[in-house]
Structure 1
């Protein structure tokens, strides 16, 4: 979808697993938790972790 930017970020390590990470920057017309969100995917390509700052409620970190 136009307006999004996705970049690969440093992997997340959890125990003996390494999860590949992506950062998505959302365009201003998309309502969401925050304009930047990080997702980490396990070796099976399933989502393992979703990190963001809850901008709509004061900007606290959430995972």
Structure 2
């Protein structure tokens, strides 16, 4: 999983005129194992023609 932040944003005007500053957002992006294409013991990241690809990820957050 990659975690991105909005550190590079500085007074960017967005939809509806909203103005965004640094640190206003975060993104969690799922992905396959790094270098999986070259590691036979890693799960495959290749989808062949005609194959179906399905991926799901569940995030649960708590303030406890």
TM over 0.5: no
Q: TM-score, normalised by structure 2?
A: 0.23
- The structure in which a higher percent of residues are strand is 1
- Over alpha carbons, which structure has the higher Rg? 2
- The structure in which a higher percent of residues are helix is 2
